[in-house]
Structure 1
Amino acid sequence: MTDIATDVEQRPPEVGIRIVYLGPVAPHWEIEGLYGDDAAVNEFRRRANARLQLLPPHDPQFRRNRERVVRDAERENYELHWDLGMPVEDDLPVQSL
């Protein structure tokens, strides 16, 4: 067997985006471009809004859709910042009934 080492060089992020929770009244989210190509920011904003538009952070569907937005940013090599205005509860154990 051949052992192939893949040294993939990590490129710096091309676009920086901040997602801010605005509060309980719709629209809940503001998606801001911090740096990078405006067309890329607008395209990401469109996709992220489709996933987050009607979901406040306490909605059970929010966690799944947030992960999808994060994976989308990773795939595009974008730097993503979340401002939920509260501590992130990802470390809490999931309780099943």
Structure 2
Amino acid sequence: MKASPEFRRQLAGYSLTTAEILYRMPDHPALLQSYIWQEYDLFPEFPALRRFLDFWSRTLDGPLFKVTVGHCRLIKPAELRALGGEFYLH
């Protein structure tokens, strides 16, 4: 059984990155529209997000207003706690 490409990327240091992109509507500049982008990317440089935002600036008409980025390392050391009791089922 082979590991998924996403799992291999996580082992290589990529983490799940989500960006909320606020941009102005081209024909209604007073209105803001929201776009959610999500991909595995490298923290803190975010090369995939930067490529996407460069593409957006070059190609699309809606000028960027604000970009909020969040990321989470999905593979990290386990958090273990010792419990002071035992539980039995049946």
Normalising by structure 2, we get a TM-score of 0.29
Question: Which has more strand, going by share of residues?
Answer: 2
Structure number with the higher helix fraction is 1
Larger radius of gyration: 2
TM-score, length-scaled by structure 1: 0.27
